[in-house]
Chains A and B, each alone.
Chain A
Amino acid sequence: MSTEAAIDIDREKGNFSYDTEYEYNAGIGLTEETVNYITDVKGEDDWVRAFRLKALESFRSKPLPTHWATKDLENIDFDKFRYYLSKGQQPSRTWDDVPDDVKETFERLGIPEQERAFLAGVEAQFDSEAAYSRMKDDLAKEGVIFVGSTEGLKDHPEIFRKFFGKVIPTGDNKFSALNSAVFSGGSFIYVPPGVKVKQPLQAYFRINAENFGQFERTLIIADEGAEVTYMEGCTAPKFETTTLHSAVVELVALKGAKIQYITVQNWSANVFNLVTKRGLAEEDAEIKWIDCNIGSRLTMKYPGVILKGRGARGEVLSIALAGDGQHQDTGAKMIHMADNTTSNIIAKSISIGEGQSTYRGQVHIPKHLKGCRNNTECDALLINTNSRTDTYPAITVRGDDNSVQHEASVSKVNAEQIFYLMQRGLNEGEAMSLAVNGFVNDLVKQFPMEYSVELKRLIDMEMEGSVG
């Protein structure tokens, strides 16, 4: 088989970093001092300080979940990270205020300037503080709040404090505790009752300091009948040593609200991406996670929905692409807590070279609930002989008026398809790329246009040289 590159793409794009002078630097390692330092720099209220310190304690007391997760986690040396870095700048409101070197970083990432015209507001996070944040006037007029986590807790505690740390308690797992202790950056969004945000809100962010963990914290609240779509995309420069990313994302959809949260992530191959994402759906509310994981050394991410109110609906659509030496450990959690709640999970994974993709799922329907439904489908595609895929769903159902179905399949790319495409003049790499894109196509169709284009490009890049 040929090892010819499928598509001519500059693999080094994104592989750069600039010397940036960090005005605030909490040093290396994690102690009470680090936490106090972060709180001081941010000028946070005392309750936030107490919250952080309690979280630090919880982080220390919790063991790594290696009894079920990969032993690779033991390679994380928590004492070697920087936990806070910042330019010390207030989030800027116009593009002109953004420093030139930061702009240049975004330029090379290819965030198109025209795109901003279409998007309601671009919250571009550079390292831990929002470097650029702007919302269209009409959104602000409707009362939509779209700010960073620091601003959110300081300026709007009456809105955000009520749900902050409630969907994902500090002690949920070791990494949510870590995030709660040192979080900075992320987006806090509040959409007032009945407001339907037509255009997606978007944030780009990237890690830009070696050995620097990024711990953003996002909380989105959609009040009764509100609708909002949030998109995040990540690219990160390559570094020699490991980098830690541990975010916490909480969504709250009140009665009849709809939240859609879209992630397309492409971390570089040295990043540990250990993220806790969970939504709370009240009566007739709907939460949809669209999650696409490409890159990173190890990703562990299981977006979940707690279906708390009658008729609530949860959905997770996920695509994972594990390249050589990568491990995508992703999945979904659906906790049914009320009658007539429905959930749907569709997960597709592709393993290339020595890549490993894992699906872990949990569906829980407790007793005395009626009319609950779950559908789970996971499909895995294995490209090379040494690729690997695992599936570990866990399903608990009580009661005779609930039903679940789970299906998983594993296959390889059909040799006939490749032969057919090569007959028509495509080289093997292109044919493989087309087949893989076809495998995920029905999911990608659900993504907003910009993202499906970006995703196709990322898959093409990953498929380069994977055949042979």
Chain B
Amino acid sequence: MITAQSDSEFLSEVVFDHFLARHSELPDWLVKQKQASWTEYLALPAPNRKMETWRFANVKGLGVEGFRLAPSLSEEDSQSLIENSQNVKETSGKLVFGNDDLVAEEALSEELSAKGVIFEPLERAFAKHPEILEEFFMAQESALGSEKFAAFHTALNRNGTLLFVPANVEIELPLVSYHWANGGESAVFPHTLVIAKDNSKVTFVDIYGSSDKESAQLACGVSTLYAGPGANVEYHYVQNWNEASLSFNRLTTVAERDSNITAYGLNLGSKHARNEGHTVIEGAGSNAEILSLTVAHKEQEIDQRTLQSHNAPNSRSNLLFKNALQDTSKTIFSGLIKVAEEAQLTDAYQTNRNLLLSPTAEANSLPGLEILANDVKCSHGATTGQIDDNELFYLLARGIDKPTAQKLLVFGFFEEILEKINNEELANYHRELVHQKFEIA
């Protein structure tokens, strides 16, 4: 556990030694991995303007030196976080993390535990399930430019979620993890590892947030999902760090034969957010839906990079990223579909739609394709525009006042993604957050 001395500990070169000294409970294999990662982190160059993977991004504000390892929470703070972690009521299990410590837990039902489902915070799982973690923890490479931040995460992460669903087990209600950052300059390293074995079915939700609106925080997270043969995995993340914060997230999804993956992302928070999403199609016949909705305002910069790697034939992936921009906000969407030579009969699609709601907002779009097979259907589309005058006119002509009409049309823009969420409670939760943010602006 973190002691009070960490209050002065900024993320400099020596912080790692102190981190290790304080967490003697970590197993040897993990310490070795962390040491290697820390060396790698120090050696790798910081993002700069010449790097194609950081094109258009404002790389100046990405320094982590001003942050320190998040201190432990007071009882009072923990309590208030737990009270705020009620957004999804019907769950099969819940974990609440505050500054990377587990502060509350709703364990699995005995029935699910008996079937072999594992839903544990990493702080326990490292010791309890080394066979799973040694194989899967940080086993995927960075493919989109965040090598340095992934190494940083590996070195300083100590908690997060392990969700393991054995073959043929279906879990109806979603499992949810809340990750809170508390206090100024706090750095947190949330981690998610979901492993769904053959023909299993599971829905998992990550909700990221800050305990107040003003304190600048750093979040450097990594999530990895494995959908085994025939598995059905639905994943949601809500990025809602406060608007003073800097956040990085790398999501890797591995789809095996005949699996079905749906990933929904909702980006609302952070001053500067960088999300990388890599979907790896490893097995034939799999299907991936990758959806994201971003509402940016003020001076937010939301930088999203995606890669759809098709390494197996007969699979489908469909990506839709929608961004609504207000004020002087900026979004970057960079997407790439890579179809390997052996991945014939691939259907891969990628769409980016940007809605500019202010004359000073800036939308950047870099949709890309790299196709090495010839019998494929691939397309990408990117549009950037504003509220359609004809649609607005239609509503005005029916007596709806302009602000309401505009709001209706913007909500309609969001709805294309929201209506795809099957779980009604989750859909309403996403909808409420989006509408809330839009109303405030």
Contacts and interface: CB of A to CB of B under 8 A. Distances in A.
Interface in A363-402: 367-368, 380, 382-402
B360 A390 contact: no
Given A391-B380, A397-B354, A408-B367, A386 B361 contact: no
B367 A403 contact: no
Interface residues of A, number: 36
B358 A405 contact: no
Nearest to B381: A407
A391 B367 contact: yes
A399 B361 contact: yes
Interface string A398-416: 1111111111111110000
Nearest to A408: B380
A172 to B, nearest CB: 17
Contacts of A408: 367, 369, 379-381
A404 B365 CA distance: 10
Given A390-B369, A405-B382, A385 B344 contact: yes
B347 to A, nearest CB: 11
Contact of A396 (B360, B362, B373, B374): B362
B55 A403 contact: no
A11 interface: no
A67 interface: yes
A99 B360 CA distance: 62
A324 to B, nearest CB: 14
A68 interface: yes
Interface in B341-396: 341, 344, 354, 356-386
A387 B361 CA distance: 40
B50 interface: yes
B341 A396 contact: no
Given A395-B384, A399-B360, A400-B356, A385 B367 contact: no
Contacts of B363: 395-398
A431 B335 CA distance: 35
A396 B330 CA distance: 10
Contacts of B377: 409-411
B180 interface: no
Contacts of B365: 393-397, 404, 406
A399 B386 CA distance: 9
B56 interface: yes
A419 to B, nearest CB: 15
A371 to B, nearest CB: 11
Interface in B37-95: 50-52, 55-56
B341 A385 contact: yes
Given A399-B360, A408-B381, A390 B371 contact: yes
Nearest to B368: A392
Contacts of B359: 367-368, 398-401
Contact of B364 (A368, A396, A405): A396
Q: Chain B: interface residue count, which band?
A: 35 or more
Given A67-B50, A385-B341, A392-B366, A407 B375 contact: no
Contacts of A400: 356-359, 361, 386
Nearest to A374: B384
B362 A406 contact: no
Contacts of A396: 56, 362-365
Nearest to A360: B368
B364 A404 contact: no
A162 to B, nearest CB: 33
A389 B338 CA distance: 10
B383 A398 contact: no
Contact of B374 (A392, A393, A406, A412): A412
B369 A391 contact: yes
B232 to A, nearest CB: 29
A380 B370 CA distance: 11
A405 B382 CA distance: 6
A404 B379 contact: no
Nearest to B357: A400
A159 B385 CA distance: 41
A359 B255 CA distance: 29
Contact of B375 (A390, A391, A403, A412): A412
A396 B365 CA distance: 6
Contacts of B50: 67
A164 to B, nearest CB: 30
A82 to B, nearest CB: 33
Given A406-B367, A408-B369, A397 B384 contact: yes
Contacts of B368: 390-393
Nearest to A399: B359
B381 A410 contact: no
Given A367-B359, A395-B364, A400-B361, A382 B371 contact: yes
A409 to B, nearest CB: 4
Nearest to A409: B379
Contacts of A410: 369, 371, 376-379
Nearest to B358: A400
A394 to B, nearest CB: 5
B332 to A, nearest CB: 9
Contacts of B385: 402-405
Given A68-B52, A399-B360, A404-B382, A385 B374 contact: yes
Closest 8 CB pairs of A and B: A382-B374, A403-B385, A391-B369, A395-B365, A397-B384, A410-B378, A406-B382, A398-B362
Given A368-B359, A409-B379, A410-B376, 7 more contacts: A383-B374, A385-B341, A388-B372, A391-B369, A391-B380, A404-B385, A412-B374
16 contacts: A368-B359, A388-B372, A390-B368, A390-B370, A391-B370, A393-B365, A393-B366, A395-B365, A396-B363, A398-B363, A400-B386, A404-B382, A407-B380, A407-B381, A408-B379, A408-B381
